[in-house]
Amino acid sequence: MQSLSLQKYKLGQRHQRSPIKRTLSEIFPETVTDAAAIGYILARLPRTNAPVLWVQDRLSCRETGRLCLAGLGVQRPIIAVNLSRPVDVLWALEDGLRCRTLVAVIGEIWGDPAALDFTATKRLAIRAEAADVPCWLVRHAATPNLSAARNRWRIGSVPSTANAHDAHAPGESRWSLDLFRSRQAKPGKWTVTYDRTADRLDRITPLRDGAMAARDGTTGQRATG
């Protein structure tokens, strides 16, 4: 599938014409306590040493926690901005999109604040396209109402793959991606697995044959005691 570009941009490829313009994408995590959306964004970031601008509002920081540096597979410089109001988050995102040095601009907003309307998202999208910097807007506990985001995702965790070393332990992360609205690609649903050591996303093709399908490793119940 050419349109869903899961490949990473290689180093030095930044100024070349990419098949998909970098633009504003919205992500709606399926539940509040699900970090799959964050994992997906980080998995999509290219492998460079350029910094990431990460803006969070107070509620999303309190309810969903903050980024844990030790849990990142690849260490990269992060400029963290912690703000109290969603309006300020939008201002900081917009300001960050003027800086072409950044590898990505990531914002997290809780709920449906009045400031985050169609105009605000349109401004972000136009700025992101002008600067050619991807902008990811994570909207915790929000309803997917009117928005100018070019791609809108709904992302959640699904039971992980079987762990080769320990049958009772979770394996590699698996996420369900639902691109429910997109201007650049055909919407669709996928299940991907994230290979943490290789920092790579693999799409899992659903097979008709149940016995051959990739198992998620949750066959046996946990033996208690």
How crowded is residue 9: how many other Cβ atoms within 10 Å of its Cβ?
18
Q: Which of 84, 74, 32 is nearest to 52 (CA)?
A: 74
Binds other proteins (CB under 8 A): choice among 4, 45, 53, 137: 53
Give the chain's largest Cα–Cα span: 59
Which residues, 89 to 118, sit near other proteins by CB under 8 A?
A: 91-92, 95-96, 98-102
Q: What's the min distance (Å) between Cβ of 217 and other proteins? A: 7
Beta bridge partners of 216: none
Binds other proteins (CB under 8 A): choice among 2, 17, 70, 197: 70
How crowded is residue 92: how many other Cβ atoms within 10 Å of its Cβ?
19
Q: Which is nearer to other proteins, 181 or 196 (CB)?
A: 196
Q: Are 40 and 179 in contact (CB under 8 A)?
A: no
Q: Are 156 and 29 in contact (CB under 8 A)?
A: yes
How crowded is residue 167: how many other Cβ atoms within 10 Å of its Cβ?
12
Does position 33 interact with other proteins (CB under 8 A)? The reply is: yes
Q: What's the rounded Cα separation, in Å, for the pair 191 and 211?
A: 18
Binds other proteins (CB under 8 A): choice among 10, 62, 183, 203: 62
Which residues, 9 to 28, sit near other proteins by CB under 8 A?
A: none
Q: Which is nearer to other proteins, 71 or 187 (CB)?
A: 71
Using CB under 8 A, list all residues that contact other proteins.
31-36, 38-40, 42, 51, 53, 61-62, 64-72, 75, 77-83, 88, 91-92, 95-96, 98-102, 156-160, 163, 166, 168-170, 173-175, 194, 216-218, 221-222, 224-225
